[in-house]
Structure 1
Amino acid sequence: MLDYELGVIGAGNMATAILRGVIETECLPKNAIVAYDPDAKREQLLALEFGILCAQSLNTPGSCPRVLLSVKPQVMDGVLEAIADKVSDETTVISIAAGITTEHIDRKLGGKGRIVRVMPNTPMLVGSGVSAIAGGPRATPDDVHWVQRLFAASGLTVVMDESMLDAVTGLSGSGPAYLFYLIEAMTEAGVREGIDREIAGMMATQTCIGACKLIGKTGKTPAELRRMVTTPGGTTEAAVNHLDEHKVRDSIAAAISAATERSRELGK
């Protein structure tokens, strides 16, 4: 039997993003990875795109020294029960399921495995993700470092206490959707003002991309950059004043709190 370093259970978008980063950066060779998904079409896509082996059951990936659980929270318990007899005390178990605590995973695995929880986000698909990493029961600093290397292949990684991961879910895990929502709204506003929809969409999207790049390139804070483009009595000031009058900042904070609370609920 071939030896694999990493077993991946679940072949959705996040698993695809992680594997793309890992293979493109040569963090792991493709022949060190084996994957399983109950959807045969997803497995075929993984095999075709990355050239990795896909198993017919989760027994093989579940028996690897490191196991990445890339499944939805609603099916996590079933997966944990299925691999519990495959996991050893030395297995590093990595979960990216929102809201599922390492304590819960530990309980379902019968106190076996070294558990690490990660909260990534979808920009990993283009190598620009953000992943918060927290060590759980029995996880060593080396385990956390290995997981950090794995996710760093697809973007920024931050190691933090697990108690913060629900808030991370609300901030960066769900965060891309907030920006997409903003781009949708900007596009619709442009259309109402008479701009062609396709052009309005391109302009709104590129404006957000450019603004984010400006933060990264200049090292200035968003507040500093906003003040730089806000001329007293000008158009930007009129827009920002309107946003403040309608408490948009408070609404965004409340939305992130709602996502955070939902993450907590998923873990119960």
Structure 2
Amino acid sequence: MMNLNNPNLKVGVIGVGNMGQSLIKGFIDSKTLPAENVVVFNRSKEKVINLQESHNVTEASSIEELVDQCNVIFLSIKPQDLSNLLENISNKDIDNKIFVSVVVGVSISFIEEKLDSTAKVIRLMPNTPCLIGHGVTAMAYNNRTDNQEIKLVSDLVKSTGEVIEVSEEQMDAVTGLSGSGPAYVFMLIQALTSGGVKQGLSHEQSKILAAQTVQGAAKMVLETDKHPEELKDMVSSPGGTTIQAVQYLEDNAIRGAFMKAVELSSHRAYEIKQGSQQGNDDSDNKQD
């Protein structure tokens, strides 16, 4: 079985849009893989040329050639393009190859149906902070993939941030939470920044204070055993400034607003999945 220490391990990435590039750069910049072991294919040659100049990747002349050369194949294309791609390679020998999908709203069973019922398929749901190596990616897989193969893909993807295993049934919820979540946090940072400016701070001062506060608070949640509610109470002195602000946020149902946002995004992910697998994709996927 291939592992990261095997010099013959070849990893292919089909589609080098934002997410495809984040994977490629993560593999190489973290020294998880040498550049010569990364093979790419993309319809836009300009993006491939840029990657060759910056990261010295190898370009495959066709998708078929990439599949022949690689042990692990990342699919990072638009949902509406996936069906034709899979049908074009369905006659290839895919024994012992792992297909890793980063395609929004497409189930493992859809890929199995188009390829082969014995295909090894892993589905990922990353988020945009993966672009800078600080993302989180949810991972689900079918029962044809063994523990070594799951570890191999997990180790590859960890070059872009954290990896958490979930069941495929939880993927829509993951989309609503961590997939769309950066947008919620960006809105929070912008709102805090505007609040600082309103109180007389410069925009740059406010932005740094807001962003560092969010980053620091997140690290406290991850690095302590304390519940977020307990950490909030640690800041809220009786009769102090923070509790006044917290009461206002509670009165305006901030918790419910975030919970509803996750719910609506998750529901939309389900709708997109249904449409994608019927050939009527209308998602905002920007991977290719």
- The yes-or-no answer on 1:225 pairing with 2:231 is yes
Q: What's the offset of the Cα at 1:100?
A: 0.7
Structure 2 counterpart of 1:74:
80
> Unaligned stretches of 5+ in structure 1?
none
Instruction: Return the alpha-carbon distance in structure 2 between the equivalents of residues 66 and 4 of structure 1.
Output: 8
Instruction: Return the alpha-carbon distance in structure 2 between the equivalents of residues 204 and 241 of structure 1.
Output: 20
Q: Residues 128-147 of structure 1: matches in 2 within 5 Å?
A: 128-136=134-142, 138-147=144-153
Instruction: Return the alpha-carbon distance in structure 1 between the equivalents of residues 149 and 9 of structure 2.
Output: 17
**Residue in structure 1 matching 2:40, options 18, 21, 35:** 35
Greater relative contact order (CA < 8 Å, ≥ 6 in sequence) = 2
TM-score by length of 2: 0.85
Instruction: Return the alpha-carbon distance in structure 1 between the equivalents of residues 152 and 9 of structure 2.
Output: 15
Instruction: Return the alpha-carbon distance in structure 1 between the equivalents of residues 198 and 92 of structure 2.
Output: 58
Structure 1 counterpart of 2:213:
207
Instruction: Return the alpha-carbon distance in structure 2 between the equivalents of residues 202 and 74 of structure 1.
Output: 40
23-32 or 43-52: bigger deviation: 23-32
- The yes-or-no answer on 1:173 pairing with 2:198 is no
Is contact 1:126-1:154 (8 Å) kept? yes
Q: What's the offset of the Cα at 1:221?
A: 2.6
Instruction: Return the alpha-carbon distance in structure 1 between the equivalents of residues 272 and 84 of structure 2.
Output: 15
Q: What's the offset of the Cα at 1:87?
A: 5.2
Is contact 2:14-2:76 (8 Å) kept? yes
Structure 2 counterpart of 1:103:
109
**Residue in structure 1 matching 2:27, options 14, 22, 30:** 22
Is contact 2:13-2:73 (8 Å) kept? yes
Structure 1 counterpart of 2:193:
187
Structure 1 counterpart of 2:15:
10
Instruction: Return the alpha-carbon distance in structure 2 between the equivalents of residues 143 and 8 of structure 1.
Output: 17
Is contact 1:134-1:159 (8 Å) kept? yes
Instruction: Return the alpha-carbon distance in structure 1 between the equivalents of residues 225 and 45 of structure 2.
Output: 46
208-217 or 241-250: bigger deviation: 208-217
Q: Sequence identity, in percent?
A: 36
Q: What's the offset of the Cα at 1:75?
A: 2.5
Q: 1:7 aligns to what SS in structure 2?
A: strand
80-89 or 130-139: bigger deviation: 80-89
Query: 1:62 corresponds to which letter in structure 2?
Result: V
Q: 2:271 aligns to what SS in structure 1?
A: helix
Structure 2 counterpart of 1:118:
124
Count of aligned pairs: 266
Is contact 2:13-2:24 (8 Å) kept? no
133-142 or 224-233: bigger deviation: 133-142
Instruction: Return the alpha-carbon distance in structure 1 between the equivalents of residues 270 and 155 of structure 2.
Output: 27
Instruction: Return the alpha-carbon distance in structure 1 between the equivalents of residues 268 and 31 of structure 2.
Output: 36
Is contact 1:68-1:94 (8 Å) kept? yes
1:31-84 per-position Cα deviation (integer Å, ceiling 9, x unaligned)? 111101111121112112211112233222233222100113233223223332
Query: 2:135 corresponds to which letter in structure 1?
Result: G
- The yes-or-no answer on 1:255 pairing with 2:261 is yes
Q: What's the offset of the Cα at 1:137?
A: 5.1
Q: What's the offset of the Cα at 1:106?
A: 1.0
Instruction: Return the alpha-carbon distance in structure 2 between the equivalents of residues 44 and 212 of structure 1.
Output: 37
- The yes-or-no answer on 1:54 pairing with 2:59 is yes
Instruction: Return the alpha-carbon distance in structure 1 between the equivalents of residues 168 and 80 of structure 2.
Output: 20
Q: 1:153 aligns to what SS in structure 2?
A: helix
RMSD: 1.9
Instruction: Return the alpha-carbon distance in structure 2 between the equivalents of residues 115 and 52 of structure 1.
Output: 24
- The yes-or-no answer on 1:236 pairing with 2:245 is no
Query: 2:232 corresponds to which letter in structure 1?
Result: R
Is contact 1:102-1:137 (8 Å) kept? no
